[in-house]
Amino acid sequence: MDQRTRLLEAALFAAPRPLALDELAVLDADATEDDWRRAVGELRDHYQAEGHGVELAEVAGGWQITTLPIFAEAIERAAFAARPAKLSAAALEVLAIVAYRQPVGRAEIEDIRGVSCGGVLRMLQERGLLDVAGRSEGLGRPILYATTPLFLELVGLAELSDLPRTEELAVALRTPQATEP
């Protein structure tokens, strides 16, 4: 591996979050984004070809070194690393609604779910999975929520467009014309 690829590996190892290509620029003023893209490619191939315990994953708009899934159980059993607590069904519902409707206000979320969700919203905000994205122009100017890069990290997505498209789901949303008797 050349020097730049090794620098990339060091930076990714040190960083607690995925690093985007344009963030890497500060590491080396001479390198362009294309140089970094090449370095990412080289590092990824290196991990694959040489048989490593880690791999390079594209997550939340950046790159991150992660352990291979086949070792998850052993690491879990040994309790070397802590994983965040799994989210409840209610929390995932709120995340799902926000992910597809963002920016979206609490009233709309509660309307779709049929239950109030102030506590869940607060918890998701505290965990950094949701953030306030502004205020609606509507009555009372309610707060609007959006997902954060940490949400993408939680579900291991590179970007929001990697979520399943609504047309691909079994039930199509908003088909009122079909309800005619």
Choice between 42 and 153, CB closer to another protein? 153
Choice between 11 and 38, CB closer to another protein? 11
Q: Can you tell me the distance from the alpha carbon of 59 to that of 62, in angstroms, rounded to the nearest whole number?
A: 5
Choice between 41 and 128, CB closer to another protein? 128
CB within 8 A of 57, min separation 6: which ones?
63, 64, 65, 66, 156
- 141 conformational bin, left if phi > 0, alpha if psi -120 to 50, beta if neither: left
Pair 94, 145: CB distance under 8 Å: no
Give residues 91-110 in contact with another protein (rule: CB under 8 A).
92-93, 95-97, 99-100
Report, in Å, the least distance between residue 114 CB and another protein: 4
CA distance between the termini of the chain: 67
Binding residue for another protein (CB under 8 A) from 30, 34, 79, 83? 83
Give residues 7-66 in contact with another protein (rule: CB under 8 A).
13-17, 57, 64-66
Answer yes or no whether residue 122 interacts with another protein by CB under 8 A: no
Residue 160, both tokens: 């929001």
φ/ψ of residue 82, rounded to 5: -95, 140
Pair 130, 151: CB distance under 8 Å: yes
Binding residue for another protein (CB under 8 A) from 26, 29, 49, 81? 81
Binding residue for another protein (CB under 8 A) from 107, 116, 122, 135? 116
Give residues 142-161 in contact with another protein (rule: CB under 8 A).
150, 153-157
What DSSP designation does 84 have?
P
Pair 116, 110: CB distance under 8 Å: yes
Instruction: Please report, as ranges, the residues that interact with another protein according to CB under 8 A.
Output: 13-17, 57, 64-69, 72, 75, 81-84, 86-90, 92-93, 95-97, 99-100, 112-116, 128, 150, 153-157, 163-164, 166, 169-176, 178-181
